[in-house]
């Protein structure tokens, strides 16, 4: 009994499709470890001015899983002269003014503090950003505004 005309071609096509399917798709690379979650942001940022010295303080939030603890905090400041009009809709440009590592004592207290001197005649805005092990950066804190 002879095969029908074209059946050999169909078999070859089916075999080729199966071989291509077994080869897989996409580029093969080494496995990538899952990304670590960033630490929780600083909470309850507050500012107090006394005698030209600003004291910023904030709460260190505990990571739910215990693995994403804060390794440090970066303090950012925006500084504009009071003589210039306050533009509520303009983007705020911050510069980093401190990088504070979290010590075991800070972790036990659950609070961090940063102090610096202020110049009269300026409008200040501060925010704090948390980072974890491996420089994984978390969310910014709320900002605080000071006119001095």
Q: Is the pTM of this model over 0.75?
A: no
* CA 113/CA 133 separation, integer angstroms: 20
Residue 10 domain-assigned (yes or no)? no
* CA 119/CA 68 separation, integer angstroms: 37
Residue 75 domain-assigned (yes or no)? yes
* Residue 30 confidence (pLDDT): 80
CATH of the domain at 134: 2.60.40.10
Phi, psi at 101, each rounded to 5°: -80, 145
Range of the domain at 63: 43-147
Residue 6 domain-assigned (yes or no)? no
Helix or strand or coil: residue 10?
helix
Write the pLDDT tens digit of every residue in 106-145: 888 999 999 999 999 999 999 999 998 888 899 999 999 9
pLDDT at position 1 over 60: no
Q: How many domains does the chain have?
A: 1
* CA 82/CA 134 separation, integer angstroms: 39
Residue 92 domain-assigned (yes or no)? yes
Residue 90 domain-assigned (yes or no)? yes
* Rounded (to 5) percent helix, strand, coil in the chain: 20, 40, 40
Residue 111 domain-assigned (yes or no)? yes
């Amino acid at each position: 009994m002879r095969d029908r005309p074209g059946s050999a071609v169909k078999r070859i096509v089916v075999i080729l499709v199966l071989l291509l399917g077994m080869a897989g798709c996409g580029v093969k690379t080494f496995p990538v470890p899952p990304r670590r979650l960033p630490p929780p942001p600083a909470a309850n940022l507050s500012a107090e001015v006394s005698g030209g010295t600003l004291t910023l303080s904030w709460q260190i939030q505990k990571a739910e899983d215990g693995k994403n603890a804060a390794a440090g905090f970066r303090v950012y400041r925006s500084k504009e002269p009071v003589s210039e009009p306050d533009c509520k809709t303009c983007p705020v440009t911050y510069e980093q003014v401190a990088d504070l590592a979290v010590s075991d004592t800070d972790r036990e207290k659950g609070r961090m503090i940063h102090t610096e001197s202020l110049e009269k005649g300026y409008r200040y805005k501060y925010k704090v950003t948390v980072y974890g092990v491996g420089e994984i950066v978390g969310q910014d804190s709320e900002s605080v505004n000071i006119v001095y």
